Structure 1
Amino acid sequence: MNASRSQASEKLGMLVRRLREKNSMSRQTLSERSGLNSSHLARIEAGEGNPTLFALIQLATALEQKPEVFVSGLTAADLPKDVKTPYSEADFRRELRRREGEA
């Protein structure tokens, strides 16, 4: 098994598995209800996948949850270490000036 992509991926995967098991649902059943491939679900549950917003909405619908349940409590600290930290106020203003210059 590969290592999880990040703490966010690991937390999401554990939540998907817990909700699936709470509903006494096999991965195959969740696959059929969500329209997602069962191997993709296995990667998500293992924390190896990085589901799109579309996939999260499909999972939420299949598990009878609100989509926001999947991101509740996650912060930038849960992202992979190689992801740039969020913009500072100065970075944001520089980016705005750059974009205004392109217009």
Structure 2
Amino acid sequence: MSDFAPIGRPDPAGPVSYDAAAKPRRVNDATPAGVTRGADRVDVSAEAREATLTARLKDLPVREDLVAEARRQIAEGTYDSEDRIEQAIDAILGDWA
């Protein structure tokens, strides 16, 4: 481990200790005995997660032919059928299993 000061003006807090295996810290910045430092942590809000998901969804390709077909069936009143509802229920229950 080596001690060095920044180039330019002297650092009033003293030289910085550098160890590639550990985080840099001040040489005179000792942690008192029996005190442990907490781990770093990041909390992401639900809004940020949703914004990230929305941005990723916008980048996905859209099957315009399928969208047009679904819109046509909805307009004609043929989109909702017993078979389609059963398939949707099976898919949802399959995801939970």
Using structure 2 for the length normalisation, give the TM-score.
0.26
Greater strand share, 1 or 2?
Answer: 2
Higher relative contact order (CA 8 A, sep 6+): 1
Greater helix share, 1 or 2?
Answer: 1
| Structure of greater Rg | 2
Using structure 1 for the length normalisation, give the TM-score.
0.25
